[in-house]
């Protein structure tokens, strides 16, 4: 069974600084990988996804993530944080195939942005 | 285009009562899902449906019942609510062959 670990429960950055949210997964093959963002009291919005191909994935709001198979990682980065980025971020893995639709969520990382 | 909606957005009920949470999507997506979100557990899959009249259990199905008589609706029923079912419930949908799921705004349920 697949699993996903987000080692940082809470990250604080200053506005304008770069940010990195870490994600490591466990799965026997190449999984489908997602990052979702949840603003307070809101649903989950898809930031980006990786299925195959180019390992550097561009998403919305200036975010990107790089799939590194050797490190089983899919870290989310942004070169310059904005106050509006403050939210909770979830790394998600799906095995696909016969496990279609069965997403496994990480515990989430809360991002705080200081002015 | 409303996308995916959930109702009610907030609900307070008492232990032992039956509660139904509604989910409606306008994309004609084949797949629909119900998750619960709890502190320390992230989101966990309760039930999912691959099409009308086809449903299957997820990770935490006990105490819940689902039905899917129409493609666009996927109600979740708590037959006899318990305090442990206090949570935020999210509905999601995805198209056939598409791995990406789209989430509703959530329903906050408090069981007293």
Give residue for tokens 């026997």. Answer: A28
By the 10 Å C-beta count (0-12 exposed, 13-18 middle, 19+ buried), A70 is classed as exposed
- pLDDT tens sequence across B11-55: 999 999 999 999 999 999 999 999 999 987 788 999 999 888 999
A10 shares contact with chain B (CB less than 8 Å): no
Write out the E strands in chain B: 4-7, 10-13, 19-25, 31-38, 42-51, 54-57, 64-66, 76-78, 87-94, 102-103, 107-111
- pLDDT tens sequence across B73-99: 999 999 999 999 999 999 999 987 777
- The average confidence (pLDDT) of chain B is 92
Residue A106's closest chain B neighbor by CA?
Answer: B42
CA atoms within 13 A on the CB side of B60: 17
B104 vs A contacts (CB less than 8 Å): 43
A39 shares contact with chain B (CB less than 8 Å): no
């Amino acid at each position: 069974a697949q699993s996903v670990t987000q080692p940082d429960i809470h990250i604080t950055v200053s506005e304008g600084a770069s940010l990195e949210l870490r994600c490591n997964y466990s799965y026997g093959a190449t999984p489908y990988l997602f990052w979702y963002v949840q603003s307070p009291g809101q649903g989950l919005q898809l930031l980006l996804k990786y299925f195959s191909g180019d390992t550097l994935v561009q998403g919305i709001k200036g975010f990107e993530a790089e799939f590194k198979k050797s490190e089983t990682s899919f870290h989310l980065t942004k070169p310059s944080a904005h106050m509006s980025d403050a939210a909770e971020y979830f790394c998600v893995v799906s095995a696909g195939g016969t496990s279609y639709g069965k997403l496994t969520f990480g515990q989430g990382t809360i991002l705080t942005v200081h002015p | 285009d409303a996308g995916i909606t959930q109702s009610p957005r907030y609900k307070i009920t008492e232990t032992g009562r039956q509660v139904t949470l509604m989910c409606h999507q306008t994309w004609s997506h084949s797949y629909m899902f119900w998750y619960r979100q709890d502190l320390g557990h992230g989101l966990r899959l309760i039930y999912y449906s691959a099409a009308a009249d086809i449903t299957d259990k997820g990770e935490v199905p006990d105490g819940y019942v689902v039905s899917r008589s129409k493609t666009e609706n996927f109600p979740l029923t708590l037959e006899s609510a318990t305090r442990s079912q206090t949570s935020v419930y999210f509905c999601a949908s995805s198209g056939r062959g598409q791995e990406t799921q789209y989430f509703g705004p959530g329903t906050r349920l408090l069981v007293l």
